[in-house]
């Protein structure tokens, strides 16, 4: 028995060690990937619930590892956040977004706003904003075309409410639009909507998949949509995969829909075909 426990213990320590080694290797490869620019931006369409027209996009990072193939951002983004690499990743994506918007403008297509994820790390160090401003100027992109997505969880990670509100105001002063991402994934309070000067709320995917069948969930979604409309806040539902979800959300007054039902995140060229009917490369 003792030896069984011991071997169990050893296996655990082994697997923790392996995990740490994997993470260290991944981190090392990620640094290389950043230098070699192996990270790519994909765009997922946000579609108007009323008429199905493309009304925006979210920029999502993709890493194509030379041997391991595609690695999910859900795996490497948290790792980047622990190591400060996230700032470089986000700058890279931000720059690609600006490059796209500038190209679209030159091509004369009707622009759609693109949203970019802002990591919690940036909250502690708003210095990143001067970098963003510099990139905007380089590509001559008006900030109004860019929406910054701030995850709801920053509200519960020790940030002072006042601080978050000031931060959003700073973003507005620059000209960015601001959305509250993953709304409903934690214990969000509806008063967040009243007290934070956000332009848009994104109803979290978990919210929709796990509890959509229940009447009570539907009622809560309807209430959130109603409240947002009355407060003049745009609504986006994410992770929408099914027809019945689309029709319910449309009925509930949700403005935009983002999810596999309409489209997965796409490489830029494919997004352009989807949104503008042609590739602009
Ligand atoms: P998020 O910001 O909540 O992004 C939405 C995620 O939902 C994306 O996952 C997207 O591919 C996925 N998704 C969209 N529609 C559907 C659907 O209908 N069904 C399902 N099952 N999934 C759907 P992805 O691209 O794997 O990204 C995961 C998370 O990684 C993102 O969650 C975001 O928090 C983070 N992330 C991705 N790119 C970046 C980035 O450039 N910078 C930062 N800081 N974080 C990023
Ligand atoms: Ca997001
Ligand atoms: Ca989200
Ligand atoms: Ca999420």
Phi, psi of 206 (to 5 degrees): -55, -40
pLDDT digits 0-9 by tens, 47-79: 999 999 999 999 999 998 888 888 889 989 988
The pLDDT value recorded for residue 158 is: 60
- Specify the ligand 1 atom closest to the Cα of 42: 25
Predicted pLDDT at 57: 98
Q: Whose CA is nearest to atom 11 of ligand 1?
A: 265
How far, in Å, CA of 147 to CA of 179, rounded? 7
260 CB under 6 A from ligand 1?
yes
Q: Does ligand 1 have an atom closer than 6 angstroms to the CB of 161?
A: no
- Cα of 117 vs centre of ligand 2, distance in Å, is 5
Looking at all shown ligands, the one closest to residue 93's CA atom is 1
The string of pLDDT tens digits covering residues 108-125 is 999 999 999 998 888 777
- Residue pointed to by tokens 């109004």: 144
Q: What does the pLDDT read at residue 238?
A: 95
The protein residue whose alpha carbon is closest to atom 8 in ligand 1 is 60
Report the pLDDT value the prediction gives residue 28, as an integer from 0 to 100. 82
For the entire predicted model, the pTM comes to: 0.91
Low-confidence stretches of the chain (pLDDT < 70) are 1-2, 156-159, 187, 210-212
CB distance 45 to ligand 1 below 6 Å: no
Q: What is the pLDDT of residue 40?
A: 93
pLDDT at 157: 64
Got the DSSP string for 257-274? EESTTT---EEHHHHHHH
Regarding the beta carbon of 205 and ligand 1, being less than 6 Å apart is answered yes
CB of 95 closer than 6 angstroms to any ligand 1 atom: no
Which two three-digit tokens encode residue 97?
């977004």
Instruction: List CB contacts of 170: < 8 A, sequence separation 6 or more.
Output: 126, 129
d(CA 7, CA 98): 54
CA-nearest residue, atom 6 of ligand 1: 239
Q: Which of 73, 153, 237 to mutate to test the pocket of ligand 1 (most atoms within 8 A of CB)?
A: 73
Ligand 4 centroid distance, CA of 168 (Å): 20
* CA-closest residue to ligand 1 atom 13: 239
């Amino acid at each position: 028995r003792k030896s069984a426990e011991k071997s169990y213990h050893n296996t655990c320590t082994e697997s923790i060690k392996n995990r740490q080694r994997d993470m260290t290797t991944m981190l090392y490869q990620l640094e290389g990937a950043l230098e070699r620019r192996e990270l790519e931006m994909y765009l997922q369409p946000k579609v108007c619930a009323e008429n199905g027209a493309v009304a925006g996009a979210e920029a999502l990072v993709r890493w194509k590892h030379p041997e391991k193939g595609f690695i999910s951002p859900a795996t490497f983004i948290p790792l980047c956040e622990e190591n400060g690499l996230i700032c470089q990743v986000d700058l890279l994506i931000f720059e690609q977004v600006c490059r796209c918007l500038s190209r679209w403008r030159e091509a004369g297509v009707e622009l759609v706003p693109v949203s970019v994820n802002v990591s919690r790390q940036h909250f502690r160090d708003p210095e990143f904003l001067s970098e963003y401003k510099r990139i905007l100027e380089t590509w001559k992109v008006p900030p109004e075309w860019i929406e910054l997505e701030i995850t709801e969880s920053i509200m519960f990670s020790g940030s002072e409410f006042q601080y978050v509100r000031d931060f959003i105001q700073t973003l507005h002063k620059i000209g960015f639009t601001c959305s509250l991402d993953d709304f409903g994934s934690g214990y969000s309070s509806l008063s967040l909507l009243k007290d934070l000067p956000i332009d848009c709320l994104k109803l979290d995917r978990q919210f929709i998949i796990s509890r959509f069948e229940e009447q009570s969930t539907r009622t809560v979604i309807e209430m959130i949509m109603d409240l947002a409309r009355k407060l003049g806040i745009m609504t986006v539902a994410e992770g929408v995969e099914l027809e019945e979800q689309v029709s319910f959300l449309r009925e509930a007054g949700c403005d935009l829909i983002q999810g596999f039902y309409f489209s997965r995140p796409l490489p830029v060229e494919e997004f352009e075909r989807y949104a503008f009917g042609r590739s602009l490369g």
